[in-house]
Amino acid sequence: MQNESQPSNNEARAEAAFERLGTRRPKCSVPGCNESDWRALTGKHPHILCYEHMCAEQGRSTVEQQHTLGRKIDPDMEVTMAGNDHRIMDSYKDQWPKETRENPDGSPALLAAAYLRVPFDWLIMIAKRYLEPVFLWLEALDSLFCEKLGRRWWVGLGLPDIYSRRVEQ
C-alpha cells in the first residue's frame, strides 16, 4: 500500500511529463487541436504536438492497435483506436498491479480482474475525455444564457421546459 505522503506513480509520471514538455498546462500547438492530456503529448513548449499530429507529420497512421488485456496476457486481443487514446489507455494499464498486468502463472482470478479493469479504464477515459468537456460546456452555456436572457432563458426562446414536463408525468 502506498504511503499517502508520497506521490503516486501516475502523479510522478505527470510531473516528469510536465518537466519534459516545459509547462504545467500543455496543449497540442496545432491550430484547432484541443489535446491537453500529458500522456498524449510530445515535444517542448511552445512546440508541443499530440501523438496523432506527430504521427501525421511523420507520414504514419494516427490509429493503432490497442492490446486490451496487454500483450503478455493475450497478444491476439486487439482493437483499433486513435493514437492519443491508445497512449492514455496504456497509461491506465501501467497503473494496474504488476501481477494483474502480467499474470505470469495464468491465474483465472487475475485474468478476470484484467477483464474487469479494461471496461473500467474505457469508462474513465470516455468520461474524462469525451463527456466531461460536454457537460462543462453546457453548464457554462447555461450560465451565460442566464446572465444574458434570465434564469428561465429557454422559455423566452420557445424551447420546451423539459424538467417541468418530466415532473408532471
DSSP 123-142: HHHHIIIIIHHHHHHHHHHH
pTM: 0.78
Interval 68-88: pLDDT, tens: 998 888 888 999 999 999 999
- In this prediction, residue 28 carries a pLDDT of 97
Residues of the chain above pLDDT 70, percent: 91
DSSP 20-56: HHT-SS----STT-----GGGEEEETTEEEEHHHHHH
Query: Angle at Cα 22 formed by Cα 19 and Cα 26, nearest 5°?
Result: 100
pLDDT higher than 90, residue 2: no
Interval 130-159: pLDDT, tens: 999 999 999 999 999 999 999 988 888 888
- In this prediction, residue 168 carries a pLDDT of 47
Compute, in degrees rounded to 10, the torsion defined by CA atoms 138, 142, 144, 150. 170
Count CA within 13 A, CB hemisphere, residue 96.
26
- In this prediction, residue 134 carries a pLDDT of 96
